[in-house]
Amino acid sequence: MKYNFIAIEGNIGAGKTSLATMISEEYNARLILEQFEDNAFLPMFYKDPEKYAFPLEMSFLASRYQQLTDQLGTQDLFKSFTISDYYIVKSLIFAQKTLPPAELSLYTRFFNIINKQLPKPDLFVYLYVKTPKLQQNIKLRGRSYEQEIQDDYLDKIQEGYFDFIKQQTQLTTLILDTNSLDFVRNPTDYDKIIDVMHQTYKPGIHRITF
């Protein structure tokens, strides 16, 4: 890989963790995985979003910041590069869709302070998956607290990511339309993604449909 820090992003159920893990194993890369399952607010949020949105988003922001500073602040001489299954900006994207204006204003102040202290990825990969397939993936992996996620919530999160991407002219971004792929079970599909990631890109948005 030509990059020192790659961030894989996408909606809930897009396959971020699977792809990041597969790449890290093939290329001996340092892997940073989001520790969402340790967040006690997550099941409560899905049951009562209005009550638990703010503590959920704040706890995620704190956890992501601590993890990224711990991992990216040290060099691992035995790893070729670093790959993560999230980018810190997802904190703001989700908060914009879940918090009321007053709480979002406060949250954004904290986010801006934290974001300035973290390095940006050399390559930002967004896995674009349509909502029906996202729902299929969510059902298949069987996390109980995710089973009631509604289509409109997934649509809002996807919209938030695209709004962010449109503004990132200095970030090297790959939007990979993976709706026709099954890169977890089909090695050929995985190789297609790897071939695309081996290309050289200038900063900006690059859309790839398979």
85 noted as active-site residue = yes
Q: Going by DSSP bridges, is the β-strand pair 204-209/123-128 parallel, antiparallel, or unpaired?
A: unpaired
The DSSP call for residue 65 is H
- 206 is written with which tokens? 């690059």
List residues bridging with 180 in a β-sheet. none
Contact 127, 19 (CB under 8 A): yes
Residue 94 CA to its chain's centroid (Å): 11
C-alpha span between 19 and 127 (Å, rounded) = 10
Distance between CA atoms of residues 171 and 160, nearest Å: 17
Residue of 38, 85, 177, 189 with catalytic role: 85
The Cα-based distances of 39 to 4, 55, 81, 107, 210 in angstroms read 29, 10, 27, 18, 35
- Give the list of residues 6+ apart from residue 13 with CB closer than 8 angstroms, or none: 129, 133, 134, 135, 136, 137, 138, 141, 146, 154
Q: Give the residue numbers annotated as catalytic, written as ranges.
A: 85
